[in-house]
Structure 1
Amino acid sequence: MHSLPVFLRLTGRPVILTGDGEAADAKRRLLERTGAVIVGEEDKRARIAIVSDGDAVTAERLRARGVLVNATDNPDLCDFTLPAIVDRDPVLIAIGTGGASAGLAKALRQRLEALFPARLGELAQALFAARGAIKARWADAGARRRRIDAGLAPGGMIDPLRADAVDALPDWLAAEGPVEGSRLIAIALLSGDPDDLTLRAARLLGEADRVYHAASVPAAILDRARADAARIVADVPPADPGEGLSLWVALDGAIA
């Protein structure tokens, strides 16, 4: 991973913007949407700058002051890049290519714009407002997470790709039925390339509480698991994998 994606709050903060023309106008509109205070290069309070014309001299001068710089069309002088954005406030989806191709980022954004419902932000806000009720409904943290995962899964009651998902939230919260019990699922990898993961395998990695895996499984595969999922090297599948969803991952042919 060449960069760490972050969402930076700029409301009320000074941000330097230099350059003129259409590129500067576009960056100005973007900064105004975030609530940033747009200032000139002389403002010593600013710690972030966008050099809209990519001028190397200006970029180097600002970087020498310790300012983090984005220099348009000059990736070698960029401390950060500006992603293409799908905005479903408060849900933000950012697509970056590390400055390799703004056109590719734009094309991906356009695909995602068509995929995500306009009311996706409403679902996020409703889930936030219902946090207390969700915690009261499922007091156990593991059970609560599994319920949320099941609700948001493809075809679930609050599947975020459903246009009416926010309307289904009360019914999901009131739904009866046992929490899905502990499971151990085996995943036979076709190769060590994460691009060869099936959709099912990628989904399970994103949901699992723990991943038992052969030592030969590459880190690139394990990186697709949840960040907080336990990763446990093992020679054989565990007899007692623990509560929730556990996976046994090995290259095809090593699955017992």
Structure 2
Amino acid sequence: MHSLPLFHRIAGARVVVVGEGEMAAAKARLVERAGGIPCPETEAHYARLAFVALEDGHAAQTAALRLKRMGLLVNVADRPELCDFTLPSVLDRDPVLVAVSTGGASAGLAKHLRLRLEAILPQSLGALASGLSAARDRIRARYPDGDTRRRAIDAALQEGGRLDPFEPASAEGVDGWLDRTRADDGAQVVDVTLASDDPEDLTIRQARALGRADTVLHDPQVPETILIRARADAARAPLPAETPASGLTVILRRS
């Protein structure tokens, strides 16, 4: 990855915006939309982040270096080489945020990827997220064990599940899911023989299984480019290895 993706909370915090005109105004609007307070460079000692929106390249670089020396993280419009952080194109389904970034390579590409996602992600995503948040205590009470709880949530949110995020009706279904479903504590094993070492050759079913797996057992020669398709917190072990007695295990074998 070229960057570490983070969502930075700025509600009530000052954020420096240097510049004039529409480019600077757009940065100020973005700060305000996230709950921050745009402020001039004279208030930089109160801030942690800064946006520089100046057309003149030398002036932009000088302002960025000045702010960095004060300890601020700086974004410089249209100059990714001067940026400590870049701005993604954001799809907003509050409280769900989907950010698309090219690391400054092409803002236009990021925008059009976001527009494609806008067309397929329902407006009800935000309501579903809020419903799950409100039900957090009930979910913990229903499924006290963390692994069992995660498997139950995975089953509900998967394609065709009771809380399928792509189904608008799911936003109203959290209470019904908690009232009717039971967690499956049994073990499930998905045995995959890879067609190649290219992760693009994974089938949709295989990619989804990797994304949900609790444990990944694999031939030692399976490349990292495929293994990273699994959840970051999934257990990994090279074959031969014992299959766990619970949860979803994906076994990856080379053909």
Same fold (TM > 0.5): yes
- 3-state SS of the aligned residue for 1:139? coil
Cα deviation for residue 138 of structure 1 reads: 2.5
Q: Tell me which residue corresponds to 2:169.
A: 164
Q: Tell me which residue corresponds to 2:118.
A: 113
Deviations 1:109-159 (A, max 9, x none): 111111111121111111111122222222332222111111100111110
Q: Tell me which residue corresponds to 2:252.
A: 249
Aligned residue type for 2:227:
L
Whole-angstrom distance in 2 between the partners of 1:136 and 1:177:
13
Question: Is the 8 Å Cα contact of residues 151 and 183 (structure 2) preserved in structure 1?
Answer: no
Q: Tell me which residue corresponds to 1:4.
A: 4
Q: Tell me which residue corresponds to 1:76.
A: 81
Compute the TM-score of the two structures, normalised by the length of structure 1.
0.92
Whole-angstrom distance in 2 between the partners of 1:178 and 1:131:
16
Deviates more, 1:82-91 or 1:61-70: 61-70
Q: Tell me which residue corresponds to 1:130.
A: 135
- 3-state SS of the aligned residue for 1:42? helix
**How does 1:1-256 map onto structure 2 within 5 Å?**
1-43=1-43, 44-53=45-54, 55-176=60-181, 179=184, 181-234=186-239, 236=240, 238-251=241-254, 253=255
Whole-angstrom distance in 2 between the partners of 1:20 and 1:178:
56
- 3-state SS of the aligned residue for 1:249? strand
Compute the TM-score of the two structures, normalised by the length of structure 2.
0.92
Q: 1:99 to 1:140 in 2, by over 3 A?
A: same
Deviates more, 1:131-140 or 1:41-50: 131-140
Which structure carries more helix by proportion?
2
Runs of 4 or more consecutive aligned structure 1 residues displaced over 4 Å after TM superposition = none
Q: Which runs of 5+ in 1 are unaligned?
A: none
Aligned-residue RMSD, C-alpha: 1.6
Question: Is the 8 Å Cα contact of residues 95 and 130 (structure 2) preserved in structure 1?
Answer: yes
Whole-angstrom distance in 2 between the partners of 1:194 and 1:183:
23
Give identity over the alignment, percent: 49
Whole-angstrom distance in 1 between the partners of 2:243 and 2:117:
40
- 3-state SS of the aligned residue for 1:2? coil
